[in-house]
Amino acid sequence: MRKIFTSINSWTFILIFTFLSPTINGQSLLDPKTQPQFVNPLPVPAAINASNGGTFTIGISQFDQWLGLIDPTTKQHLNTTVWGYNGSYPGPTIVAKKDVPISVFWRNNLVNASNQPLPHLLPIDRSIDWAFGNDPAWESYGVPVVTHVHGGHSESASDGLPDQWFTPNYARKGSGFIKGDIEPFYYHNDQEAATIWYHDHALGVTRLNVYAGLAGYYIITDDNEINLQTTGKLPVAPYDMGLAIQDRMFTSTGQLFYPSEAEVGEGEEEEDDVPEPTILPEMFGDFILVNGMTWPVLDVEPRQYRFRMLNGSDSRFYNLSLSSGQQFIQIGSDQGLLYSPFAMNQMLIAPGERKDIILDFSDPALWGQTIILKNNAKAPFPKGDVVDPRTTGRIMAFRVNKTLDANYPLTSLPATLRSPIVPLHTELAPRKLILFEAEDEYGRLMPILGTVEDGMLGFREEVTENPALNSTEIWELYNETEDAHPIHLHLVTMQMISRQKFVARINEENGKPTNIRLVGQPKYPGPDEQGWKDTWVMNPGEVTKVIAKFDRPGLYVWHCHILSHEEHDMMRPFFVGEMDNAIVNRAVEINREKAEAQLQLKVMPNPFSNYVIIQLNLPATKKISINLYDTKGSLVKKIYEGEKPGGLQRFSIDGSNITNGVYFCEILINEQRILRKLVLQK
């Protein structure tokens, strides 16, 4: 590699190299070291003023946008095809007022000029649980989308649950679809001032749809915050803005790139049966974007600024610091203002989290400086690879060079920002839950949730978390993995009680822990964690205890906000209030259908006269148990019990010595249960 051009001064640096472009999946990639840093201005998304209520229509469409990329050879701009809300990436910032509800029609306009559905910009792994299952005609309907207001205190029907998706022109709808075509999504906004956000949440393609650009801010304000602003205690616009941090990869032509082929380590052989394209355990981009611009710069005045920071990345954590040595003054977290401002030198922000901060540029010693916002979080966090200090170790820059605008008074933070936050209490026994890593049928890493009692549970398995309406519960989450996971609960705002190390005997097959023993002293939330939140980082080897009130009825989900984890398969439903059996049965039925499809299960013939053959294709060696029961649940005969290697397996059921009627064949594969009805007619 030969460096042919370098231009460096105290404000800007552009590094351009000539080299053979790296390739992944056969595509030539853009090298981040060839791109400008701290040259292009920070974009500020447009705003939708919803503070007076009303009904709004927000469209999702495809368009080209300049994200700051240049061709290393020609120096010309490289536009990128993205998706966005109302024609922009990120989408417009929705500004709402406490107790002033709004309604939104989210329109799926991912169609071409002839109103034909557009294909996805990125490769879809159809082997995971996703919107269209095994439907081979899915492309004729178009891309499924559904918008979730992350942090919103929303009714279930308007929550943007994974099964509430819909395609262009509503040609297909998910099994959970309720609102969207005729009746808009309804947002109560009955919560205190907070920086929340909205993003796509469609089943199996959330990570891809968000990566394509489907995200934006949703700001709720209230009388307390407005009073702090009007009395000069908090900055107002244009000194109050969002900083949405995301990482990406690009092809050499400037198009979005999302890795989708299994990585093969040195000395390892490629697995023949891994789907292509395939989901990966995590996704880490080598470009950093803020508000849709690669490594931007913001020219600032010598005053206080308020930055509403959002980690909108797929998998990457950011541990932030400033090259000037300045402190971050945190004033708020996911769900509102802290009681008191808190100063820190470094600040960790996980996928899905928000940190509301003040940066003060008024020190005369800062005048004329370019201050770099830096990152040193390993990927995966906390034990992964070190970031490249020249690329992913940098986020953006602040250039202190603007003359103070006297039309906007200077601000001074108060000692307290709000009324004291009252701790929640409950007499109910805690729910004990697990975070585990398993392997799927293709041998791929599969992060998954579950309970201490049952072990790991997939997204489609029976609901186990069923809080009573208006109950307050403690959830204890035992992280049995090597990674930190940002766990997000829809609907609720949470307080953290403590974190503590634990040891246990972990069943390697299903993650079920026994002999759990807490180690050392619990760690209680620090000043920056004593506010309301909807996403908490669960550290490896620790049990994290959180408490929340469940005050709206219906179906919701909880999941890891590493989007690659959420979709394979680190997401579970929960139901608040009296549970409709139809919801439980539907989840079990969908799970059964998915399992049968993956195993290529066949029952031949059915009805049968003497013999029936059970045929299935095992992805690997599995423990198998097959039993026949009558309609009263009594065991009629044991068919097989033992281990079978991967591949096509057949089992025969002899009906010659039993009477005509209806029977049920139970197939247990590594404790996964499939039930198939059989009819004997001699």
CATH number of the domain where residue 548 is located: 2.60.40.420
Q: Where does the pLDDT of residue 264 fall: very low under 50, low under 70, confident under 90, or very high at 90 and above? A: low
Report the distance separating Cα 105 and Cα 88, nearest Å.
17
Same domain, 188 and 118: yes
Same domain, 515 and 659: no
Report the distance separating Cα 119 and Cα 640, nearest Å.
46
Q: Where does the pLDDT of residue 153 fall: very low under 50, low under 70, confident under 90, or very high at 90 and above? A: very high
Same domain, 604 and 587: no
Q: Where does the pLDDT of residue 123 fall: very low under 50, low under 70, confident under 90, or very high at 90 and above? A: very high
Same domain, 505 and 613: no
Strand, coil or helix: what is 587?
helix
How many domains are contained in the chain? 3
Please indicate, yes or no, if residue 416 is contained in any of the structural domains. Answer: no
Asked which of 377-386, 430-439, 633-642 is least confident by mean pLDDT, the reply is 633-642
Report the distance separating Cα 461 and Cα 588, nearest Å.
6
Amino acid at 123: P
Mean pLDDT of 394-402: 98
Rg (CA), the chain: 27
pLDDT at position 273, please?
A: 80
Q: Does residue 87 contact residue 39 with C-beta atoms inside 8 Å? A: no
Please indicate, yes or no, if residue 231 is contained in any of the structural domains. Answer: yes
Work out the mean pLDDT of the chain and round it to a whole number.
92
Report the distance separating Cα 126 and Cα 249, nearest Å.
22
Q: What is the pTM of this model?
A: 0.84
Q: Is the bond into 605 cis (omega within 30 degrees of 0)?
A: yes
Domain boundary among 570, 591, 612: 591
Same domain, 623 and 576: no
Dig out the tokens for 677 from the structure.
């009805």
Domain boundary among 549, 572, 591: 591
Same domain, 587 and 604: no
Question: Does 18 have pLDDT greater than 50?
Answer: no
pLDDT at position 162, please?
A: 97
**H-helix or E-strand spanning residue 209:** helix 206-212
Biggest CA–CA distance in the chain, Å, is 96
**Enclosing domain of residue 639:** 600-680
Same domain, 495 and 625: no
Please indicate, yes or no, if residue 270 is contained in any of the structural domains. Answer: no
Mean pLDDT of 143-154: 98
The larger pLDDT score, comparing residue 136 to residue 314, is at 314
Work out the percent of the chain whose per-residue pLDDT is above 90: 80
Same domain, 337 and 378: yes
Same domain, 577 and 604: no
Question: Does 288 have pLDDT greater than 80?
Answer: yes
- For the domain that residue 646 is a member of, what is the CATH number? 2.60.40.1930
Domain boundary among 591, 619, 645: 591
Same domain, 10 and 106: yes
Alpha carbon distances (Å) from 216 to 213, 297, 486: 9, 20, 19
Same domain, 532 and 645: no
Strand, coil or helix: what is 206?
helix
Mean pLDDT of 153-174: 96
Report the distance separating Cα 672 and Cα 668, nearest Å.
5
Please indicate, yes or no, if residue 298 is contained in any of the structural domains. Answer: yes
- Mention every residue, 6+ apart, whose C-beta is less than 8 A from residue 322: 328, 359, 371, 372, 373, 374
Same domain, 533 and 553: yes
pLDDT tens, 170-193?
A: 999 998 999 999 999 999 999 999
